[in-house]
Amino acid sequence: MTSIATRIGGTTAALKARLRTIVERPASPHETRGSSVVRPVVFGATDGLVCNLSLIMGVAGAAGEDPHGIVIAGIAGLLAGGFSMAVGEYISVRSQRELLDYQIDLQRHQLHHTPEEEGAILMQIYEGKGLSRPEARMIVKRIMKDPERAIDTFVREEIGLSAATMGSPVAAALGSLAAFSVGALVPLVPFLVLKGGAAFAFSIGASGLALFAIGLAVSRLTHRHAIMTGLRQVTLGGLAAAVTFAIGSFLGTAVR
């Protein structure tokens, strides 16, 4: 029970940390603390919104204004896509962490048995970054005095992996599931509370506004032009929805 409670507490803390990373303003324009959460959150929300909007528009094009079929398709798309995103994100982050653990064990073994060779490799890396040989030798000598620091440095510099840029697989999965579900709800909700053409219009309008808002959020983290980034999101999402609506209309007419 203690182990389960500890895991739940750790996952909750990781999710809160991810939320703070997105909400809080960076302390410096050079700060990239949000880079590890931008991709899963933005991708999850955008994918959920565009995927379910396209699915709903495709069904609407094929079935006309049948609210029952549209709602069933929207709910199915939300559930299937959300769990797919969660599983994919979990496997992705878990695999990265397993690779990191393997590389740490391998590097610990190599530093124990062949420290001179490993030190020479690290010197070559620093020399390749512009340091002179004496400077590189001095830095490597200091790093090698602390085995754990040496392992972390070798894995980061030689392999390109870092625990700081990963995170919890469970937190990543839950975050992606939540982001996808929120995005997928946007085009679906109008069909749950409205009927006919009003539901169709509100679904498109709400989806457009949500895509634009996602673009604004992305621009805050990437320091790109806010309006242009928002319009890019709307344009790409709108094209996907228009194509599926056209295909659904064609198939609906052809099958009847």
Each residue's pLDDT tens digit, 84-142: 999 998 998 899 888 888 888 888 888 888 888 888 888 888 888 888 998 988 988 88
Task: Taking each helix axis as running N to C, give the angle between helix 133-144 and helix 147-154, from 0 to 180 degrees, rounded to the nearest 10.
Answer: 130
The torsion angles phi and psi of 30, rounded to 5 degrees, stand at -90, -5
* Ranges of each domain in the chain: 37-255
Residue range 76-98, pLDDT digits in tens: 999 999 999 999 989 988 998 88
Query: What pLDDT sits at residue 20?
Result: 53
The encoded tokens of residue 222 equal: 């990437």
Q: Which residues of the chain have pLDDT under 50?
A: 22-23, 30, 32-33
Question: Which amino acid, 10?
Answer: G
| Cα end-to-end span (Å), the chain | 58
108-124 exposure pattern, b = at least 16 Cβ within 10 A, e = fewer: beebeeeeeebbeebbe
pTM for this model (two decimals)? 0.71
Query: What pLDDT sits at residue 164?
Result: 66
Q: Give the span between the Cα atoms of 4 and 169, in whole angstroms.
A: 16
Contacts of 72 (CB under 8 A, 6+ apart): none
